[in-house]
Amino acid sequence: MERELARILAELEEFGEANDRAAADRGHKMLNITHDTGVLLTLLLRNGRCREVLEVGTSNGYSTLWLAHAVGPGGRVTTVEHSPHKREMAAENFRRAGLAPRIRQVAGEAGEFLASCGAGAFDFVFLDSDRGQYADWWPALQRILAPGCLLVVDNAVSHAHELKDFVQRVEASEGYLSSLLPVGKGEFVVLKAT
């Protein structure tokens, strides 16, 4: 990893932790992934040679920078965020890191965006958003994820109760293999096997 990107990521880690300790309202928290989750995502993306990545939940762009770095030149990360304030913050972080050309920011509701995507549009999907909606999104997620590719869900241990319905729907779906990894706040990894 380039020294400047590593510096920006470290800066965003410190900012996110300090901000989340001070913010009372959930909408003002960054709720970033952990550093070791960023490393895991990089390993998965590079091993899978992923080129078209979808992230739901941009926040200030911390996780997006990990994803954009991992896809390399020619790859693209599409990231969906509802909050205008967080989108603006993320755009500035993408510019500072020099990774803006690899990132497509989408404003709005994730469910609407998912419904608009074509079949097999993404070879990797990362969910770090409103966990209560994931179960309703599952049919669209199945459609847009290319065969043989991964979907990763953050907070699978820290907020397991909020993911219960989603996990049950995934595990009841034919053609999918899943595992819970004890990395960061817990990562639920789903392979679309067929």
Q: Do 38 and 69 meet the contact criterion of CB atoms below 8 Å apart?
A: no
> Over the stretch 41-54, which tens digit does the pLDDT of each residue have?
999 999 999 999 99
Question: And the tokens for 117?
Answer: 């995507």
**What is the domain partition of the chain in residue ranges?**
3-192
What is 3-192's CATH number, 1.20.80.30, 3.40.309.10, 1.20.1110.10, 3.40.50.150? 3.40.50.150
State the Cα torsion 63-52-125-10 to the nearest 10°.
Answer: -10
> Over the stretch 83-128, which tens digit does the pLDDT of each residue have?
999 999 999 999 999 999 999 999 999 999 999 999 999 999 999 9
Give the three-class secondary structure for 8.
helix
